[in-house]
Structure 1
Amino acid sequence: MTFKAVADLDLCQGHQMCQGEAPDVFGFDEDADVVVVLRERPEESLRPQVTAAVTYCPAMALAIEEE
C-alpha cells in the first residue's frame, strides 16, 4: 500500500516541526512561511517519520492519505 503526504497550507503556521521529523519529505518556504511537501508519495520506509510529523504538527496541518 502506498501513501501520500498532504499539507493544508491554510492551517500551516510555520512551526517547522515537520522538517525535524521528516526532513526528506517536508521542506519550508521562507517567503510564504509555510510547509512545502518535497515528496508527495514517499517510500514506505519513511512512513514512521511522516506519521511523527503528522502527530506533532502543532497546527494539525498535515495528513497521510492511503492510496
Structure 2
Amino acid sequence: MKIKADTGVCVGAGMCALTAPEVFDQSEEDGTVVLLQPEPPASREAAARRAVQLCPSGALSLEE
C-alpha cells in the first residue's frame, strides 16, 4: 500500500495526524499534510486507511 497526498487540496484539518501520527504530520508553515511513511508497514495500515477515509478535503488517497 502506498499513500499519496495532494498538499494543494489539503485544508490542514489535521485528522490524518490525529488518526495516524506515525504516518502523518502537519507542516509548521501552513498546517498541510506531511507524509512520514508513504508506504507504512502492515502494523500501521489500518490507521493509515482510516486517516485517508477521514480526510475532509480528499487530499489523501491509497494506491494498492
Residue in structure 1 matched with residue 18 of structure 2 by the alignment: 20
Superposition TM-score, scaled by structure 1 size: 0.88
Q: Secondary structure at the match of 1:53?
A: helix
Any gaps of 5 or more consecutive residues in structure 2? Answer: none
Q: Percentage identity across aligned positions?
A: 39
| Structure 1 SS opposite 2:2 | strand
Residue 38 of structure 2 corresponds to 40
Residue 18 of structure 1: SS of its match in structure 2? helix
Runs of at least 5 residues in structure 1 that lack an aligned partner in the other structure: none
> Is the CA contact 2:14–2:31 (under 8 Å) kept in the aligned structure 1?
no
TM-score between both structures, scaled by the size of structure 2:
0.92
Shift of the alpha carbon at 1:59?
0.4
C-alpha separation in 2, matches of 1:55 and 1:41: 17
| TM superposition outliers: structure 1 runs of 4+ over 4 Å | none
